[in-house]
Amino acid sequence: MSKKSKNLEPNTGWDFDPAPEKVPVEIKAQYDLFIDGKWVKATSKKFFNTINPATEEKLSEISEASEKDVDLAVKAAAKAFGSWSKLPGKERAKYIYRIARILQERAREFAVLETMDGGKPIRESRDVDVPLAAAHFFYHAGWADKLEYAFPGLKPKPIGVAGQIIPWNFPLLMAAWKIAPAIACGNTVVLKPAETTSLTALRLAEVFEEAGLPPGVVNIITGAGSTGAALVNHPGIQKIAFTGSTEVGKVIRRSVAGSGKKLTLELGGKAANIVFEDAAIDQAVEGIVNGIYFNQGHVCCAGSRLFVQESVREEVLQKLKFRMRSLILGDPLDKNTDVGAINSAEQLKTIQHYLSLGKKEGLEMYQNAGGTPKKGFWCQPTLFEDVAQSSVIAQEEIFGPVLAIQTFRTIDEVIQKANNTPYGLSAGVWTDKGSKIFNLTSELKAGVVWANTYNKFDPTSPFGGYKESGFGREGGIHGLAAYLNLEG
C-alpha cells in the first residue's frame, strides 16, 4: 500500500459564518482490498477515484476487485468460518465489544471521513451514523452467547459465508447493520461497499485489525456493480444480504433463484407521512422536515409523500415553508449545516430530472431561495404542492430532498392513498389520538410505522419492507434469524 497520504483541510469560503470541523483525517492516496486479515492488491490492478461531493476534490483511489479477488475473499471467509463458527459465543462477543468500543473511541475521525466521502452534514454523521454503528456492534455482541435464549426450543446454527452489498447513503451504518449480526451468529463475511463511499468501510477494516479479529472473518472488497454481481453469483456464498435499489434487488433475486442461497433484500421506498388535523402541528412540521430533508433525502425510508388533512393544509404549508427557509445548506463539515451535498453528480442528475418532470406536469414547486456553492453537487430543499396520485413525483423514489404533498379528508381515504404504491418500507403518523395510531399501524402496509416521530432507529427494532421494498428484517431478534439456520 502506498505510504503517500495527505491531511485534508476542511473547506472554507462559504457565504455564511463557517465553523467547520477541524479534525484532520488521514486519507491514504490508494486503498487495497482487505482479504484474510491483510491488505492486498487487486489482481485487476485497477483503481477508481472517490471524491468529496461538496468540493469535487479527489480524496483517494479505491481498488476494483475482480472476480478473482472476490473468489479469494470468499475462500478466506470459508476458511475462517471453520474456526469462527465453533468459537463459543462469549468469545466471539469479546471481539465484537472491542470493535464497538474502538468505533466509539475513533468516532470523530469516522464522522469527518463519512462526511467528506459522502456529503452528509457532520451533525448527522457525528450524532446519528457513527453512534448508531457502534450501538449495533454493542447490541449484537450481547446476543452472541444468548442465541439459544433468543430462539427457545430451536438449535440456532450459523449459515456460512455471507455476501453483503451496501449502498452509499449510510455507508458505515449499513456496514454495521450487516456485519454485526452476521459475525455475532458465527458467520463470516465478504462485504462490498458502494463505489462513491468506500472509505469508512475500509477504515472499519482497520478497526477489525486493531480489535484482533481473526483473519478472514470479515473481508472488505471494493468495486463497482460487477464486483457485487460476482459476489452474488459466487458458489461459496450461503447467504446474500443486499441493501440498495429495487432495480438491482430484482436482478439479484433472479440470479440467486434456485441456488439454495438465503437472501434478504432491503430496497427502495416512497413513504407516506400522514398529518391529521388533531396533531401538534409544530411538532409535525419538524417531523416532516426531518422525514424528507435528513441526509438530503437520501434515505430509503424518507417521508417523501406528505398527506395533510385538508382542514390544516394552509397552516402546515405555511409553517413548513417558514421552517424550510431556516435550513442551512452548505459545507457538510460545518456543524451548523442542515443540508449537505448530494452524494454524486449522477444522483443530482436524477433529482433534477424529477424536478423538471414535476414542473412539466404543471405542479406548483417551492424551493428554498439562496444560492448553492459553485463547486460540488447541491439541491435546495424542495416541495411540490397538490400532487396527484398519478403524478410521477408521488409514485417514484426520487432519493433526494423533494417532498410531494397531497391532501385527504377521511382516514379511509388516506389509508387507501398511502398504500397505493409498489413500496412498503415505512410510514409516519401525526395525531393526538392513540386509537388512530393503532388503526393506522395495522392498516398501513409498511415495515416500520413511526407515530409522532420520524426516522428513529435503534438496533433492537427490526427494520425492513413489504412488496417492492424487499423482504427480511435487520435489527432485533428478527435480524438475528436472518443469519441463522433454525432447526428444532
Catalytic residue annotation? 266, 300
Residue 344 within binding range of Mg ion, rule CB under 5 A: no
Residue 195 contact partner, candidates ligand NAP, Mg ion, none, CB within 5 to 8 A by sort of partner: ligand NAP
186-215 positions binding Mg ion, by CB under 5 A: 196
Helix (H/G/I), strand (E/B), else coil: 367: strand
Quick check: 316 and 309 in contact, CB under 8 A? Answer: no
Quick check: 305 and 292 in contact, CB under 8 A? Answer: no
Q: Measured from the CB atom, is 36 or 195 closer to ligand NAP?
A: 195
String of DSSP letters for 148-209: HHHSTTSEEEE-SEEEEE--SSSHHHHHHHHHHHHHHTT-EEEEE--TT--HHHHHHHHHHH
- Identify the burial level of 298 via C-beta atoms within 10 angstroms of its C-beta, where 0-12 means exposed, 13-18 middle and 19 or more buried: buried
CB of 197 to Mg ion, least distance (A): 5
Choose, by CB under 6 A, the member of 53, 121, 186, 228 that binds ligand NAP.
228
Residue 117 within binding range of Mg ion, rule CB under 5 A: yes
Residue 50 within binding range of Mg ion, rule CB under 5 A: yes
CB of 173 to ligand NAP, least distance (A): 9
Q: Measured from the CB atom, is 332 or 464 closer to ligand NAP?
A: 464
CB of 198 to Mg ion, least distance (A): 8
Residue 243 within binding range of Mg ion, rule CB under 5 A: no
- Identify the burial level of 428 via C-beta atoms within 10 angstroms of its C-beta, where 0-12 means exposed, 13-18 middle and 19 or more buried: buried
Residue 32 contact partner, candidates Mg ion, ligand NAP, none, CB within 5 to 8 A by sort of partner: none
What Å distances lie between residue 54 and 117, 212, 377, 484, CA to CA?
A: 9, 35, 6, 41
Quick check: 232 and 240 in contact, CB under 8 A? Answer: yes
Stretch that binds ligand NAP, among 24-32, 137-145, 228-236, 353-361 (CB under 6 A): 228-236
The dihedral sign for the CA sequence 368, 113, 196, 95: negative
Choose, by CB under 6 A, the member of 21, 32, 129, 266 that binds ligand NAP.
266
Matching residue, cell 391529521: 276
Query: How many chain residues interact with ligand NAP (CB under 6 A)?
Result: 29
Distance CA 221, CA 36 (A): 11
Residue 307 contact partner, candidates ligand NAP, Mg ion, none, CB within 5 to 8 A by sort of partner: none
The three cell numbers locating residue 396: 417514484
Residue 18 within binding range of ligand NAP, rule CB under 6 A: no
Site string for ligand NAP, 423-442 (x = CB under 6 A): --x-----------------
Strand partners, 101: none
Q: Measured from the CB atom, is 230 or 284 closer to ligand NAP?
A: 230
Q: Residue 463: CB partners within 8 Å, gap ≥ 6?
A: 266, 301, 447, 448, 457, 473, 474, 475, 479
The phi-psi region of residue 419 (left if phi > 0; otherwise alpha if psi is between -120 and 50; otherwise beta) is alpha
The dihedral sign for the CA sequence 246, 252, 257, 263: negative
Residue 50 contact partner, candidates ligand NAP, Mg ion, none, CB within 5 to 8 A by sort of partner: Mg ion
Q: Measured from the CB atom, is 195 or 331 closer to ligand NAP?
A: 195
Residue 401 within binding range of ligand NAP, rule CB under 6 A: no
Matching residue, cell 414535476: 358
Residue 268 within binding range of ligand NAP, rule CB under 6 A: yes
Backbone torsions φ then ψ of 127, nearest 5 degrees: -100, -20
Residue 275 within binding range of ligand NAP, rule CB under 6 A: no
Distance CA 145, CA 139 (A): 12
Tell me how far the alpha carbon of residue 293 is from its chain's centroid.
Answer: 15
Choose, by CB under 6 A, the member of 52, 115, 125, 169 that binds ligand NAP.
169
Quick check: 62 and 50 in contact, CB under 8 A? Answer: yes
Chain position whose Cβ is nearest to ligand NAP? 228
Stretch that binds ligand NAP, among 95-103, 106-114, 144-152, 191-199 (CB under 6 A): 191-199
Stretch that binds Mg ion, among 46-54, 150-158, 311-319, 374-382 (CB under 5 A): 46-54
Residues found near ligand NAP in the complex (CB under 6 A): 165-169, 192, 194-195, 224-225, 228-229, 232, 243-245, 248, 251-252, 266-269, 300, 397, 399, 425, 465, 470
Residues found near Mg ion in the complex (CB under 5 A): 50, 117, 196
